Each structure stands twice: as structure tokens, then as C-alpha cells.
Amino acid sequence: MQIKVYGRENCKKCDKLKEKITDLVEEHNISDVSIEKVNSIEKLVEKGVMTTPAVGKNGEILITGFPRTEEIMEKLF
């Protein structure tokens, strides 16, 4: 599974969300997951991201804004 956190460079919320997702993957022993942060404005525009952070799973944007833990687990895992 490929998870991408979309956001601008130096976006503290984006960095924190990536860290939170990484922690959840480790806590729940979820395997075969790659997590990447995407900072490119071109990629954000290409995916139609208007609010950051945004999270995509396997190419589809599923979350925008800073979600609760329950929403992350429900939508990503």
C-alpha cells in the first residue's frame, strides 16, 4: 500500500500528520506500507489538492485537513 501526505514544504501540520501515520503503522504492525511526503506544487495541483495536508492511498485522495486518529484508521487501513 502506498500512502502519500501532500503538503507544502515547511508545513508543520503536514509533517506532524506524516509522523502520526507512521506511528500508527508501527503501533498496529501494518506491513507492506510505504509513506511519502509530497511537497511539489505541481503534484498538489495535479491531484486537485486545495487544502493541506491531504492524504492519498494508492493514488486516491481520501483525507484533507488534519484528521482524528479514528478517521485515519478507517480510511487508510
pTM listed for this prediction? 0.92
Average pLDDT, the chain: 95
DSSP string, 20-69: HHHHHHHHTT--S-EEEEE--HHHHHHHT--SSSEEEETTEEEEES---H
What's the confidence (pLDDT) of residue 34? Answer: 96
For 23, residues 6+ apart whose C-beta sits below 8 A from its C-beta are none
Does CATH number 3.40.50.170 belong to domain 2-67? no
Residue 9: count of CB within 10 angstroms of its CB: 10
Regions of the chain short of the pLDDT cut 50: none
Q: What's the longest Cα–Cα distance across the chain?
A: 33
DSSP string, 62-73: EEES---HHHHH
What's the confidence (pLDDT) of residue 39? Answer: 94
What's the confidence (pLDDT) of residue 17? Answer: 97
